[in-house]
Amino acid sequence: MKLSRLWQPRRLLFWQMVMFNVLSSVCTYAMRAYPLNTGGLLLLALVALLNVGFGLLAAWALVRDPPPGPKGAQAGGSSASTASTSE
């Protein structure tokens, strides 16, 4: 497992992971900064925990799947490496 695979700014999943983490931070800040009743605290806590869970799932998917290679390399290699010679 390579943690360097987390940094993939060209993938949408990376930005979703970032946004889930930002939203959970905003929720925890709101829970501490504002006087909320029990229902509001529970709602923000639930949203924060869901954001953490979805952020972890997105991070796991980024680490598990290899990053996409260059567009030319997706066809299975160059034609020079797959060509056969018959002499």
pLDDT, one tens digit per residue, over 9-23 is: 999 999 999 999 999
Select from 64, 65, 54 the least CA-distant residue to 17: 54
- For the whole model, what pTM was predicted? 0.70
- How many CA atoms, within 13 angstroms, populate the side-chain half-sphere of residue 56? 6
Q: Is residue 28 part of a domain?
A: yes
Q: What confidence tens digit (pLDDT) does each residue in 41-73 have?
A: 999 999 999 999 999 999 999 998 876 777 655
Domain that holds residue 19: 13-66
pLDDT confidence tier of residue 85, bands split at 50, 70 and 90 = low
The pLDDT of residue 4 is 80
Quick check: is 17 in a domain? yes
- The answer to whether residue 76 is domain-embedded is no
Q: Number of folded domains in the chain?
A: 1
| Closest C-alpha among 50, 83, 66 to residue 13 | 66
Residue 40 covered by a domain: yes
